[in-house]
Amino acid sequence: MTDFIIIGAGQAGLSMAYHLTQLKKDFLILDANSETGAPWLKRWDSLKLFTPTEFNHLPGLNFPSKKGYYPDKYEVAAYLKSYVAKFKIPITFNQKITGLKKEDDHIILKSETDTFKAKNVIVATGPFHKPFTPSCHTKISEEIIQIHSEYYKNPEQLQKGDTLVVGAGDSGVQILNEISNTDRNVYFSGDTNITSIPQEILGKTLWWWFKTIGFLSVSKFSYIGKKLSKGGQPIIGTDVKSLLKKQNVICVGRTLDANDTKLHFEEGDYNNIKNIVWATGFKPNFEWIEGVTLNDYKYPKNYRGVSEVEGLYFLGLPWLFTRGSATLGGVKKDAKFLSNYIEKLDIKPAYTKMILNKKFA
């Protein structure tokens, strides 16, 4: 039995571990991966952060790069490993939690091999759980290579021939851009009415402007926050208009259906595609947690990470409180709030009533 168990050793879990260390709490992190930084290392090889160094700091240790630099995935993983080493954070790897329920005054956690008990649990598994692929992928011939963006590394995974990229988010656009630089035609399936923003404007980074105008600190409960959280996110750092005008990029609209080697799109049918990269996102999975209510987006209802179940908290979810809640540098504000909340549980019980009277969302 420990005071706290944190599920997930990513940036959210490590930020919370730092604060629990400062509070001198007994805690343990459980992580499904085999090493720190594994989710970053699994991403495609050319991945770089949209945020420059000065916006990537976790509490207590700055990211070790010069200001204005955009780190790659290897540097992020190395930073997280150095963070664990510096603060001597206890992590048990290869423990994928499959069940969680409250019993009396403690919480029971079950993995595929073990059972754990804690007075409090902080779920910091992030927003990306189950890769989503449209159902028509099962109708496609085995002759065509299909890869979800979670498993895409580089164009060398693909066989020779035309390639389809499905998805108009950040991953889809970056992967489309990379593959378009090879000697093949690339078909793009998705909304072409994409807003893109350069990484620098008038000599300042985009994130400097976001911070200056208050974009990063807008609460999801505010009028502006409600509008922003429900709208689509712009593509940062890629000139989408120029990309879609390249001679070897063919826009085909939404993917409608498939039949063996023939793929059906809004803009016509094609039977010459040899590879498909599904950059179609992820679905959250919190069904393994008993007693929590999920909102319309299938995330647990909470107020700034405090759930309806006493002793159960969440961290690292998109728009947990602000636009930056799920980002490397933004999660520390939510971790600090939870730290303050946990500290006041011991000395000021009335504080919890104030929080729990807030609207869970």
- pTM attached to this predicted model: 0.92
Encode pLDDT of 233-268 as tens digits.
788 889 999 999 999 999 999 999 999 999 999 999
Partners of 28 in the β-ladder: 5
The set of long-range contacts for 324-330, using a CB threshold of 8 Å and a minimum separation of 24, is 324/216, 326/12, 326/126, 326/127, 327/51, 327/55, 328/11, 328/49, 328/51, 328/55, 328/56, 328/58, 328/76, 329/51, 329/55, 329/56, 329/57, 329/58, 330/55, 330/216
Q: Angle 18-22-25 (CA atoms, 0-180°, nearest 5)?
A: 90
Q: In order of start, what are the domains of the chain with their CATH numbers? A: 2-129+284-356 (3.50.50.60), 132-214+232-278 (3.50.50.60)
- pLDDT at 122 (0 to 100): 98
Residue type for position 249: V
Encode pLDDT of 266-303 as tens digits.
999 999 999 999 999 999 999 999 999 999 889 999 99
Distance CA 311, CA 338 (A): 11
Encode pLDDT of 206-216 as tens digits.
878 888 888 78
Encode pLDDT of 200-237 as tens digits.
888 888 878 888 888 788 888 888 888 777 777 788 88
Please give the C-alpha separations between residue 8 and each of 37, 82, 93, 98, 333, in angstroms, as whole numbers. 11, 17, 9, 13, 18
